[in-house]
Chain A
Amino acid sequence: MLVPISWLKDFVEIDIPVELLAERLTLAGLEVAHIHYIGVPQQQVDGVNWPTSDHLVWDREKLVLGAIREIKAHPDADRLVLAMVDYGGDALEQCVTGAPNLFAYKDQGKLETPLWTAFAHEGATVWDGHSDERKLMTLKGRKLRGIYNKSMVCSEKELGISEEHEGIILLDPRDDYVPGTPLQDVLGDVVLDIELTPNLARCFSILGVAREVAALLDKPLREPSYDVVAEGASIQGAVTLEIREPELNPRFTFALLRDTTTQPSPELMQRRLKLVGQRPINNIVDVTNYITFEIGQPLHAYDYDKLVARAAGKAPHIITRLAEAGEALETLDEVKRELDAHNILVCDERGILGLGGVIGGAETEISDATHNVLLEAANWNFINIRRTMQSQKVFTDAGTRFSRGVHPSQAILGVQRGIELMRQTGGGQVAQGIIDEYPLQPETVHVDLPVSEVQRLLGMTFTVETAADILRRLLFDVEIDGDTLHVTVPDHRLDINSDAVIGQADLIEEIARIYGYDKIPSTIIGDDMPPQVGNPDLMLEDATRDLLAKLGLRETINYRFTSPEREALLIPDGMESSLPEGDYVVIRNPISSDKTVLRKTLLANLLETAQVNARFNTRQQLFEIGRVYLKRGDVLPDEVRQLAILLTGPRNASGWMDGNDNALMDFYDVKGVVEGLVAGLHLADVAYCRNDDPASRHTSFHPKRSALFYLGGERAGVFGELHPQVAQRFGLVDAPVLAGVFDLDKLFASVQDRHLVRELPTTPPILQDIAIVVDADVESAKLERVIAQAGGDLLKDIQLFDVYQGDPLPEGRKSLAYHLVYQTNDRTLKDKEVAKVHQRIIKTVQNRVAGAEVRM
């Protein structure tokens, strides 16, 4: 919200620099996002930083208040006039100007009342009013159509007040204006742009901010006048009112102004409206806006005669009610609206006049011909207004305020101040009396606050007097009773809860805020330490991350959104899906077509990351740990932790050396990573099985170059070469893509709490090598199992050191060579013992593995 300091000063004295005020407001929760300067210099205040402003500072000597005493015609130009300006000097200065708003005064001789304007001496720096870009210029004397001119009367644009350049500034006359007064002191201003959080509905007006300023600076608040000069015939009988939904429309008031003239507003009102971002229209509409911004009570003005005409000459009967099915309304913004059943409407007996509290209808709006004005100040349920604004997609200044919450007490103040300002600016007679229907009056909120509660929650001692003083500065009514404050909430506030405990918290916040959060001490927690339970799952997650990083992989964090189409890329043509069981969590309002559901696997997005990175990297080693989301019948989905890994490209990072090994990574590289994980996490009972059983295989992987990963007999993951069609769909065609997907919860369930260390043998091992030729489809794991069983206790380790296929072995045969390590912990083995076991192994292998031949 924009808050001109000059307007704020109507209600509170400000005796500190604006920059300091802005800082105080910011710390008190009214965050000043920007400070806009108009003509006045930015001040440097110790300890307060604001961005340096590049606005035009008006020279105090060269830009002054001028009084135009006479407008003469230009002898050679119809579109120029000569303004004779009194700038406080000895003689009048003659300015050549084309300002159209001076033409009406041309050739009238000396003016009875001068025209007050902004006068610039030669040498003054102003914005170039004729330039489309923001450009400064310095005034220099020159001839304009034959007449020498060295000074200027200025437009708002030239002074940087607004973009207005149609005419020059003409101020409403004031008795205390003195020609030559520095313009800074007349028109200079500072506008604070304040961002209001939802709890600060009460500050959505100049007066509301002034209340906060008064409390912060400990200054009295000067309330505006709500007096009305009502000399016209009574409003009774001129209009009648019926509220059908008091919950949604707790209060409704009307005042009536007769025989007024709709005309431009006074310059000050127009200037203020422009400073807060409003476009002046006419005095009636301007007053409704002015009051909305000034005291926060939105108003709506009707052309009374149009209402009477709709009522066929009788007194209009106004009804507020909910919309009915099929009703429609064309609003002031020229939008034809289908109404929703929760929209509350202002109607007469002929039909709908407006969307209550949000926007009026087009038919009864004020025009330049309006002479009789019926002024509405009402109150509306904030939640309902918020729903209406959202469902109708209409956001107005009135609706914004009502949707945050306006206290119903403000309606009567608004209608009084509004109708009086209309009278003052347009003339006419205000009808005596006000129509005021107030069916739902909120109860006044009382809160008892023991000062000990303030201390309990803030951690510092407040005397009962200090606490009371702060609350009184905020216009709370406070009675002190021993150590307890009996607090009555002023009726401009809706944010103090009537629940005893919540109300106390609300008041304690107010005490802390005005006292200053910076003055509350800093302490360390003295409370009991809670039971320490740790988070073993997170420790395991982090251990897994560290292991994978040690193994050379990079952690990625991908979007948890995807689309079913994208994850379907993981299913090769004609195959079953291997995505986890469960439905997608579907987003009702997706941000884009590739983020319509939550992922069921990490693999698709990880592949996409690899695809994007492939532009710059031939070699990638990635992983992600994160959740996938599976709807399995409960209200909320299962959130299952997964691990995905991906390797692709050359095994060795490329360098400059000769003889670079450019071999590409294959199945055994990803298996190495998996084995590293198994070793690092101390996973027990691990098995690797083929992934080629059509009934159970993971289809995203190559049927013959991938493995299922089993823990304790339960499937916990899959890894290996990606199915080539899947890799191709992700554009990864230059090298095999090795990947893996694991169920982390199953992995972690197999982690032993602690593992026992093997004793280190003190005796030397005896190594014997064995080479076994078998059919190519015999698995190494099977041979090792047989060897281990036959080897018994003495055989400590089996180390595969060579796998060979090809000449001289026949086709379909392979040779596996192992180091067999024989050792005991406590004594040196005898060769004979070893030979006996070794023979047993050879025999067993030959007997138990079909087609096995052992070579020594």
Chain B
Amino acid sequence: MLEQLEQQRTDALAELETVDDSDALHEWYIKYLGKKGAVTLMLRSTGQLPPEERANFGKRANEIKHLLNEAYAQREQAVRQQELAADLESDALDVTLPGRPRTLGGIHPVTQTHREFYTIWADMGFQVFTSRDVETDEYNFQLLNFPPDHPARDMQDSFYTTDDGVILRTHTSPGQIHAMRQLGENGTQPVRVILPGMCYRYEQITARSEVQFTQVEGLAVGRKIRMSDLKGTIAAFAKRMFGQNVSVRFRASYFPFTEPSMEVDVECFLCDAQGCNVCKYTGWLEIAGSGMVHPTVLRNGGYDPTVWSGFAFGMGPERITMLRHGINDIRYFWSNDLRFLEQF
């Protein structure tokens, strides 16, 4: 019996060596260690042996059963490993096929640019102040130091409505008067706002000009607001918007509602100021108009210009979006072609 038992052990181990998949492993287990397995049966037959052999045989049989179980466990792990490796190997996908499309919504590029403006200006204490699109001539022009029939009005062609003296605002600047009057508390409180909004000008629609466009204007009024503050503030904005290394220059210009007035140019970031067709080979990109608030406008906002001063600036989000994304045609913005919008 004992010899038989040892033979079973040798056979089982040898056979186990050749087992290389789960099915064969399972068969092996049933063959030797299952309920009717060879080793199990031998163990069970211990009682039929003569009493003096029983103890010895039983001990050995248990040892062998234990040994085979261990061998089985080891083999099982090896086989599983192998099979997993084979499975992984056979599950290959074409990873270059496109994924299942998810629906991606999105925010209009002009809104995105507005949000960047809001964030940067909010960090400098400028809050957003909105005002109406349809304005009186008084707010759009007269209070901003454009008298009736003044040549400065040639700079902005208006859309008139059928109501006398009611026009579509040509710039967000009427918001300056509204902001000063609403927030300034009769010229006693400082004001620091940006004024976003849609503006309208009677122009032909071309790749470069639109009948409606957004502006973001800024206004700071206080007791100690100086032109040097305007320069520093705009330069800080430009660095955040266009890069920390960008240079800014200020060029004298004319707007009726500011004095001194200046255009703000940043170094062309498209060509590193080397000259390209976007900057018209000047190395500079015009990004804003600005200036110190004209005394007449301060007065119209309720402030005493001998005590209070202010600066204002205005920027075109579409233009800046065009510069930053290499957009050559301003008409893309309101055409809302999804092939365009989906690039943002």
Contact = CB atoms under 8 A, between A and B. Distances in A.
Interface of A: 26-29, 31, 49-52, 197-201, 382-383, 386-387, 403-405, 456-460, 499, 501-502, 505-506, 508-509, 512-513, 517-518, 520-535, 537-538, 542, 545-546, 548-561, 585-591, 595, 598, 609, 612-613, 616-617, 620-622, 627, 629, 635-637, 639, 652-657
Nearest to B299: A501
A561 B338 CA distance: 21
B183 A620 contact: no
Contacts of B115: 542
A756 B332 CA distance: 43
Given A457-B292, A557-B336, A522 B232 contact: yes
15 contacts: A49-B273, A198-B151, A199-B152, A383-B149, A404-B151, A458-B227, A459-B229, A502-B294, A518-B250, A553-B105, A560-B198, A586-B162, A591-B204, A627-B198, A652-B101
B166 A635 contact: yes
Contact of B183 (A523, A530, A556): A530
A456 B226 contact: yes
A27 B336 CA distance: 38
Contact of B231 (A522, A551, A561): A522
B182 to A, nearest CB: 10
Contact of B251 (A31, A591, A616): A31
Given A589-B160, A591-B204, A636-B166, A530 B192 contact: yes
Q: Which 7 A-B pairs have the closest CB atoms?
A: A459-B228, A29-B252, A459-B226, A527-B222, A197-B254, A549-B105, A51-B281
A49 B133 CA distance: 40
B183 to A, nearest CB: 7
B229 A654 contact: no
B338 A521 contact: no
Given A513-B260, A655-B100, A535 B128 contact: yes
B342 A518 contact: no
A549 B106 contact: yes
B83 to A, nearest CB: 29
B280 interface: yes
B217 to A, nearest CB: 15
B151 A556 contact: no
Nearest to A588: B160
B247 to A, nearest CB: 10
A25 to B, nearest CB: 10
Contacts of A527: 190, 220, 222-225, 229
B303 to A, nearest CB: 11
Nearest to A28: B252
Given A457-B292, A525-B222, 11 more contacts: A52-B281, A198-B155, A386-B149, A457-B226, A458-B227, A508-B259, A522-B235, A524-B229, A530-B192, A589-B202, A616-B339
A616 B338 contact: yes
A502 B251 contact: no
A589 B159 contact: yes
A600 to B, nearest CB: 13
A598 B200 CA distance: 11
Interface in B304-344: 305-306, 309, 333-339, 341-342
B259 A557 contact: no
A559 B190 contact: no
B130 interface: yes
Contacts of B292: 457, 505
Contact of A51 (B104, B129, B220, B282): B282
Contact of B107 (A549, A586, A622): A549
B162 A588 contact: yes
B108 interface: yes
A28 B249 CA distance: 12
B282 A50 contact: yes
B233 interface: yes
A588 B192 CA distance: 35
Contact of B262 (A198, A517, A521, A585): A517
Interface of B: 97-108, 110-111, 115, 118, 124-125, 127-130, 132-136, 147-152, 154-155, 159-163, 165-166, 168, 183, 189-192, 198, 200, 202-205, 211-212, 220, 222-229, 231-233, 235-236, 249-254, 259-262, 273, 275, 280-284, 292, 294-296, 305-306, 309, 333-339, 341-342
A525 B151 contact: no
A617 B338 contact: yes
A538 B190 contact: no
B98 A655 contact: yes
Contact of B108 (A198, A403, A533, A556): A556
B111 A557 contact: yes
A605 B311 CA distance: 38
A54 to B, nearest CB: 12
Contacts of B334: 557-559
Nearest to B99: A655
Contacts of B125: 525, 529-530, 532
B52 to A, nearest CB: 63
Nearest to A52: B281
A501 B333 contact: no
A372 to B, nearest CB: 36
B159 A528 contact: no
Contacts of A586: 161-162
A554 B338 contact: yes
B227 A27 contact: no
Contact of A591 (B128, B211, B229): B211
Given A525-B222, A542-B115, A26 B155 contact: no
Contacts of A598: 133-134, 168
A528 B161 contact: no
Nearest to B233: A525
B149 A49 contact: no
Contacts of A535: 127-130
Given A458-B226, A558-B336, A197 B212 contact: no
Contacts of A31: 251, 253
Contacts of A549: 105-107
A558 B267 CA distance: 32
Contacts of B127: 530, 532-535
B133 A560 contact: yes
Given A552-B104, A629-B133, A198 B161 contact: no
A512 B151 contact: no
Given A525-B222, A542-B115, A655-B101, A518 B249 contact: yes
A512 B246 CA distance: 24
A612 B337 contact: yes
A382 B108 contact: no
B105 A587 contact: no
A523 B232 contact: yes
A7 B56 CA distance: 130
A339 B82 CA distance: 103
Nearest to B271: A49
A459 B227 contact: yes
A589 B166 CA distance: 12
A528 B190 contact: yes
| B134, B198, B292, B336: residue with the most chain A Cβ atoms closer than 10 Å | B336
A588 to B, nearest CB: 4
B190 A49 contact: no
